[in-house]
Structure formats: C-alpha cells, structure tokens
Structure 1
C-alpha cells in the first residue's frame, strides 16, 4: 500500500534530525571551540538522541519513523515495508536531509562551514585513521541501533510506550562513544545532507555501506530469531 503521508513524515523527521543534530555541533564548536571536549560531546550526543526519540513519538504511528535509509532498507529486506513505499521513504529522507543542511548553511554559514555543516569526516586518530576500523565501528553501532528498533518497536511483546526512550537512548550511547571515532553517522541520510551542501565527500561510501550492512545483519537476526517467533506465538 503506497502511503504519501508516510513519505512526508519521513522527510520531516529526517529534516529534524539533520537540522538539530548538526546544529548542536555548530553550537558546541561556537561555545567550546573545535576541540571535542566532554561538554561538547554531551551536547551533541544528547541532541541526536533527543531528536530521534521525540520523532519516534511524533511520527511513529504514521511512518514508523525510520528517518534513516539503512533502517528502511532493512525493513524492506525483512518484508516489513513494501518496495514502493521503501524507495519513496529513502528518497524523501534524502530530500529532508539536504533541505535541513541547506537551512543550516543559510542561517549559520560561518560556524557551520567550520564543521562542514555536520558531515562526518572519516575515521579519527583514535582509530589510527584506519578506514577498515571506521567501517567496523559504523557497522557495529548500526547493528545495535537496529537491534534496539526491532526488539522495542517491532517485537509484539515489547513494552508499550518505551520505543522512543529506548531508541533515543541508544542513539545517545552511539554518539557518546562513536563521535570521537567516526563522527557516528549510522545513517546515510545524516551524512548525505551535509555532504551535498558542504561538498565534502571523503569517506562518503563508508557511511552508506557500513550502516546498511550492519542494519541488514541485525534485521535478519532479530527478525527471524526473535520477532517472527513471537508473531507465531500470537
């Protein structure tokens, strides 16, 4: 069933993520400088977790609040969403992401340009700038994001009303440990929007491939080992 309202919900939800998430980075560097101190890290991590957690409650009943191509691709692969809606979800997620980054470029050009409007800039020195290590980090972080989504939002026996808190909390944790390592994308749209506006495309492939692979692994494990079993019991 094709659902244009859900497509719009995905665009708005992704806009919120790519606006408030990178805006927190811009604010952090304006307040604390380019060094990633604990205060800046907490602001960035909390902002990303909060906006995604809130969007789950705002649009979860409309579109499922994927706001992430890796999530949508995993849902298509496990037949939780049809291909027509899934393709439109991804397209509207990317549109929302680019629109959000363009807004940041318009309202905060100076400080925004210093951080390429929030685009992830590849593996850090903590990983010896290793692409292989960065790829594994992004894959693992996305695996646990999708694990949370399937077990708290898809699983029929999950406690009602806690999906936004659990998913937002997972995003908070992912950014707390992942920002110093890879910038913590776990979402191709989150990287794509700032990349389009800033023109920074280094390592861009990694922020598509690793989250999608991590999402697919988690989706198949959680769906066919845990979620399907609960559905059969019901």
Structure 2
C-alpha cells in the first residue's frame, strides 16, 4: 500500500505541475484575447516555480516529489532507485500529465489550436540542437539543485522547495524564449497529447533526460560524501 501512495503522490503532483504551468500559458492567451495585458513570460515562470515549490512541500515526504521523468531516470541511473519503482514513477507522472492536459482541453478549448494548451515549441529560427542544449543546461541546473537540497542529507532541511522553485522560475524565464523552458518531459507531454502538437517533441525528452543523468554523475563524483546520499 505504501508503494501505491508514492505512485498516487507522483500522479497528483505531476497533474498539479502541468495544470498550473501549462494552464498559465492558456490563461495568458485568454487574457490577451480579451484585450488584457496577459501574464507574460515572467508571470508564467512564477506560476511554474511556485507550483513546483508547493508540490515539493506537499508530497516530498511521500514520494520524494520527482514529478519529472528526467529526475526519476537520473535517480535510476545513479542507483538511488530500483528499475521497477522508477518505471512505475514514470507511468504515474505521464498519467498525471495526460489528465492535466485533458482537463486544460476541457477548460480552455480556444487554446487547443492556438497555444496548443501550453505545450512547448521551439521559437522561430531556433534549431533542434539549440533547443536540446537549452533544455540540457537548465535541466542540469534543476536536477543538480535537487541533489544538493532534497537528496543530500547534509543540506539544511526545509529550504529545498524554495531553492528548487527558484531554479524552475529562472530556468523557465531564460529557456522560455528559446525552448519554452520545460525542464521536464511530462510538462510538455500532457498538453501535447491533448492538443495533438508533437512537433520536435523529442527535444523535451532528450535535453532534460541527458541533463539529469549528467547532473547525477557530476554530483556523485564531485560533491556527494563517501556514503551515497
């Protein structure tokens, strides 16, 4: 039963993340369509960072608050998680992201074929390699921060959510104008499956997953103590 609690926590946490992060893009579109100023990149980035902070404080004691396949794969590769549990985490995350995408499709029908329910797309003129590199860098920074604050037992308790949320906020701001600043395959997958927009979708799997794997190895080799964190 405890294992199922973890999977449910990952599903609910990923649902919340995708619903708020992608939903803020939909809300921005509706506000602009009505003649308002909209949320803008800063407002969308703040929403993304704040929801991640909230999810960490709400579910980290249950599942560790991965809510991101790139995080789970990094833990798997660095032997912090067994394969079966990792696969169930990823399934739960994908399910939560899909449900969030379908909920947004119901609530924001005009955003389906316009902003594609907030799924990420490469900015005009941005190459695939450049998009992957951006997602790699900001995902590396995010997952490195997760290791240093949420995983490492030497870190000060209680500040992980804030630190990770800030990295998400700034990563979304910087990456937003190039690749959308997702740092999370599930963040893109949910809105993509609901809107049918899968152009260059692999960018948001390759970049974050590679960034997460490298972050895990770098942390283990250079910063972790002799006993696995």
TM interval, shorter chain, is over 0.9
Residue number in structure 2 paired with 1:95 = 95
The answer for unaligned runs of 5 or more in structure 2 is none
Counterpart CA distance in 2 for 1:32 and 1:47 is 17
Q: CA deviation at 1:132?
A: 1.0
Q: Do structure 1's residue 148 and structure 2's residue 145 form an aligned pair? A: yes
Counterpart CA distance in 2 for 1:87 and 1:195 is 21
Give the TM-score normalised by structure 1.
Answer: 0.92
Q: CA deviation at 1:218?
A: 0.5
Counterpart CA distance in 2 for 1:184 and 1:206 is 11
Q: Once the two structures are superposed, what CA deviation does each residue of 1:155-200 show, in whole Å capped at 9, x if it has no partner?
A: 1211110000000010000011111111111111111111111111
Counterpart CA distance in 1 for 2:103 and 2:168 is 23
Residue number in structure 2 paired with 1:200 = 197
Q: CA deviation at 1:2?
A: 7.6
Q: CA deviation at 1:111?
A: 3.1
Q: Once the two structures are superposed, what CA deviation does each residue of 1:37-62 show, in whole Å capped at 9, x if it has no partner?
A: 89511110000000001100000000
Q: CA deviation at 1:112?
A: 4.4
Residue number in structure 1 paired with 2:206 = 209
SS at match of 1:61: helix
**Within 5 Å, which residues of 2 pair with 1:3-82?**
3-32=3-32, 39-82=39-82
Matching residue within 130, 148, 163 for 1:166? 163
Matching residue within 131, 136, 153 for 1:134? 131
Does structure 2 conserve the Cα–Cα contact (< 8 Å) formed by 1:42 and 1:176? yes
Counterpart CA distance in 1 for 2:118 and 2:108 is 12
Does structure 1 conserve the Cα–Cα contact (< 8 Å) formed by 2:138 and 2:171? yes
Please identify runs of 4+ aligned residues in structure 1 that moved more than 6 A.
Answer: none
Give the TM-score normalised by structure 2.
Answer: 0.94
Counterpart CA distance in 2 for 1:219 and 1:155 is 12
Does structure 2 conserve the Cα–Cα contact (< 8 Å) formed by 1:29 and 1:40? no
Q: CA deviation at 1:210?
A: 1.1
Does structure 2 conserve the Cα–Cα contact (< 8 Å) formed by 1:2 and 1:85? no
